[in-house]
Structure 1
Amino acid sequence: MTFDFAIVGAGMAGASLAAELAPAGSVVMLEAEEMPGYHATGRSAAFWSETYGGPAVQPLTSASHDFLAAPPPDFADRSFLDRRGALHIAEATGASMLEAFLADFAKSDVVLEPLSAAALAGHCPGLRDGWNRAVLEPSCADIDVAGLHQAYLRAAKRAGADLRCLAPVTEIERVGDGWRLRAGNETIEARILINAAGAWADEVAALASVEPIGIAPFRRTVVQLRTDPAAPADLPLVIDIEGRFYFKGEAGGRIWLSPHDETPAPAGDVAVEEMDIALAIDRFEKAVDWKVLAVERKWAGLRSFSPDRLPVYGFDPASPDFFWCAGQGGFGIQTAPAAARLSRALILEEAMPASLAGVDAAVYAPDRFS
């Protein structure tokens, strides 16, 4: 089986890039699990926030907005975004961090609105005394992660891409001007190898005798709560500026809450730690005067960061047919449209599309780690 492009991983990163590349050449996605999106993509409580990931990620997020809000008719018949708004809150100990947060985005087009204590209470009733500083990010929205992922998989299939599930890559070797891979029970050859393996990105690189970058997976915990009072229907995403928790309302007045944990974890099927749930609820109850009645659901997923916490898009400097598409952290969903278009342009040596104006590809290039 010979292809122009072999993509290791069929989560959001692999599927979006397959959809971009398939019209230009033969593509195979190699997915280790029974179905794509089982790990990071399928366990995301994703939102689209221009500030999430910091100023260096923001250009990718902003460049993805129009596609997510109004996708082409042949891609999807509805928006993937549902406006929610975000509220960045602080105690006295976080006042300087809130000021730094505003300064970070002062030169961007991101709209951020400092709120008075009175205005804050209108956005998030029940905040305890001391939580009287806040910045509103009105553009923040929920993302239909499953819908977006399935749309990318459909687009890739329509353009001729092949998907192999239960096909973990166990061997990679150089063959002439390309690669030979052992994936599941098949041997596959490809001209260009694309590493979109998420938490397994460094392992895939090592199989290909490419120097690992140092992409590390971390566990993130989310719980669904039933509270008294129930969450208001218009509750924004509420984020502690000191990074100790975030929560948002869900259907039926429920709350999705995370302790914003980043616990180093081996690549694999991670499970929830009860201590993280207790920590999340403790932080939540110290911030709002709401009683937790029940934990209805709980799950954990992996997010993977490069050493400088920025994504990695580009050909490896020592292995020019090995392309990195990894290290997306928790912002891989919200940046997927721009990241896929950026990667396509780099792989096919095309001019950057107009939708990526303001995005500097060199910021994300793997040679920054050389």
Structure 2
Amino acid sequence: MIHDIAIIGAGMAGASLAAELAPHARVLLLEAEDAPGYHATGRSAAFWEECYGGPGVVPLTRASGAYLDEHGFLTHRGALYVGRSEDVAAMAAFRASYEGTGVAITPLEGAALAAMVPQIRPEWSHGLHQPASADIDVAGLHQHYLVLARRHGAETVCRARITGLDWADGVWTITSERGETWRAATIINAAGAWADAIAALAGVPAIGIAPLRRTVAVLRVDPPAPADLPLVIDINGGFYFKPDGGRLWLSPHDEIPSAPCDAAPEELDVAVAIDRFQQVTDWRIAAVERRWAGLRSFAPDRLPVYGYDPEAAGFFWFAGQGGFGIQTAPAAARLASQLLLGTGPDAMTAPIDASAYAPERFQRAFAQQSVWKSAR
């Protein structure tokens, strides 16, 4: 059997795109791990925040919001960027960078800020409130897409770690480390941290998608964190934290370069997070109850990559989605499916400029490409 489309990677990216494509094509979803969503999807900080990822990601985030809300995957929280007196200029520049994007940002200072974050220290007296932020039910959203894909006939195969991708006569032959083979007219590279490695197997030049490790620790604090605490983010990118059942999820907002792997938290990164947190708030940390790390994968310009490779027939990039891949999943998958199926935009994707995310925006070394072409 020749599938129309084989998607490599069954995390949020692959699952959402499979759900969009399955009603229209024969879709094969291949996952290297024992179950989908083991890596970045299963380790998300689980929030939808319009500014997250920068102005270039805003159209995808805002276009996804209605879908996430209508299907019950969002719980309102709000976000608050905080800083000190020396950060006023940075806050003004941040706010200016989102002008014209439709994002609502309101300055908040002094007593009003302290009322929103009751344990914050007095010197952290300047804030920017982003009221539309919400928590995301990441596991629920991922299962939603996997169920939709299966309902429309997509086949999912786990423990399918890919070791070979060969193109001949308009068809890709896909080989796993267990010796299984599949055939498909189009390959979708939704492999997250392994995206460039998958491209290499296909003889396609790397884009330079870099995995960066992000650490999260769950703190039991005294007094317990209030349930209505916003997502609190350092305007300079040094930390963020949010409440969960009286605890706090805390990250040092780290971006540590890493090889693609099963990421694990480093004690130093947890210690850095706690040190920064203690400089900002008066909460007493009773215990670090849990810690984890995940890989967030970025293209060189930190925008996602959606589209057919300009040189490799039947090879489609759906990667480089950083830490914003969960919150942009509905619009990203819809947009990519329209590019693959050759259909026009709909109400969700009409505000999005697909060319901003096209792989041809990168200057790559195409020395390999002459080999790629001649071999085919």
String of CA shifts for 1:220-275, please: whole Å, max 9, x gaps. 00000011111011100000010000000001x10000000000011010111000
Report SS of the residue matched to 1:125.
Answer: coil
2:192 pairs with 1:198: yes
Of 101-110 and 287-296, more deviation after overlay is shown by 101-110
What is the CA-CA distance between 1:129 and the residue it aligns to? 2.5
String of CA shifts for 1:130-185, please: whole Å, max 9, x gaps. 11110100110000000000010000000000000000010011121121110243
- Equivalent in the alignment of 1:17: 17
- Equivalent in the alignment of 1:320: 313
Letter in 1 for 2:248: I
- Equivalent in the alignment of 1:156: 149
String of CA shifts for 1:24-67, please: whole Å, max 9, x gaps. 11000110000000000001112101110111000000000111
| Contact 1:312–1:324 under 8 Å retained in 2 | yes
What is the CA-CA distance between 1:186 and the residue it aligns to? 1.4
Counterparts of 2:328 and 2:227 in 1: how far apart (Å)? Answer: 27
Letter in 2 for 1:221: T
- Equivalent in the alignment of 2:203: 209
2:216 pairs with 1:222: yes
Counterparts of 1:336 and 1:93 in 2: how far apart (Å)? Answer: 36
Q: Which stretches of structure 1, 4 residues or more, deviate above 4 A after TM superposition?
A: none
Letter in 2 for 1:358: P
The one of 108, 111, 123 equivalent to 2:116 is 123
Counterparts of 2:171 and 2:334 in 1: how far apart (Å)? Answer: 23
Counterparts of 2:362 and 2:127 in 1: how far apart (Å)? Answer: 36
String of CA shifts for 1:82-107, please: whole Å, max 9, x gaps. 00000000123322111111101121
RMSD: 0.8
2:264 pairs with 1:271: yes
Letter in 1 for 2:103: V
Alignment of 1:134-283 (within 5 A): 134-183=127-176, 184-251=178-245, 253-283=246-276
TM-score, normalised by the number of residues in structure 1? 0.97
- Equivalent in the alignment of 1:4: 4
Letter in 2 for 1:207: L
Letter in 2 for 1:309: R
Counterparts of 1:363 and 1:222 in 2: how far apart (Å)? Answer: 31
Letter in 2 for 1:164: V
What is the CA-CA distance between 1:342 and the residue it aligns to? 0.4
Report SS of the residue matched to 1:57.
Answer: helix
Alignment of 1:41-52 (within 5 A): 41-52=41-52
2:80 pairs with 1:87: yes
Letter in 2 for 1:19: A
Counterparts of 1:272 and 1:306 in 2: how far apart (Å)? Answer: 23
Letter in 1 for 2:192: G
Alignment of 1:66-77 (within 5 A): 66-71=66-71
Counterparts of 2:270 and 2:51 in 1: how far apart (Å)? Answer: 26
2:61 pairs with 1:61: yes
2:327 pairs with 1:331: no
Counterparts of 2:11 and 2:312 in 1: how far apart (Å)? Answer: 24
| Contact 1:91–1:131 under 8 Å retained in 2 | yes
The one of 304, 327, 335 equivalent to 2:297 is 304
- Equivalent in the alignment of 2:102: 109
2:38 pairs with 1:38: yes
| Contact 1:167–1:185 under 8 Å retained in 2 | no
Structure 2 stretches lacking a partner, 5+ long: 364-376
- Equivalent in the alignment of 1:76: none
Letter in 2 for 1:70: E
Letter in 2 for 1:297: R
Give the number of aligned pairs. 362
Counterparts of 2:296 and 2:199 in 1: how far apart (Å)? Answer: 18
What is the CA-CA distance between 1:319 and the residue it aligns to? 1.0
Counterparts of 1:294 and 1:339 in 2: how far apart (Å)? Answer: 38
Letter in 2 for 1:343: A
Counterparts of 1:180 and 1:127 in 2: how far apart (Å)? Answer: 57
Report SS of the residue matched to 2:323.
Answer: coil
Letter in 2 for 1:194: I
Counterparts of 2:179 and 2:156 in 1: how far apart (Å)? Answer: 14
What is the CA-CA distance between 1:122 and the residue it aligns to? 1.0
Structure 1 stretches lacking a partner, 5+ long: 72-78
What is the CA-CA distance between 1:116 and the residue it aligns to? 2.3
2:352 pairs with 1:359: yes
Letter in 1 for 2:183: E
Identity of aligned residues (%): 58
- Equivalent in the alignment of 1:75: none
TM-score, normalised by the number of residues in structure 2? 0.95
The one of 120, 126, 132 equivalent to 1:133 is 126
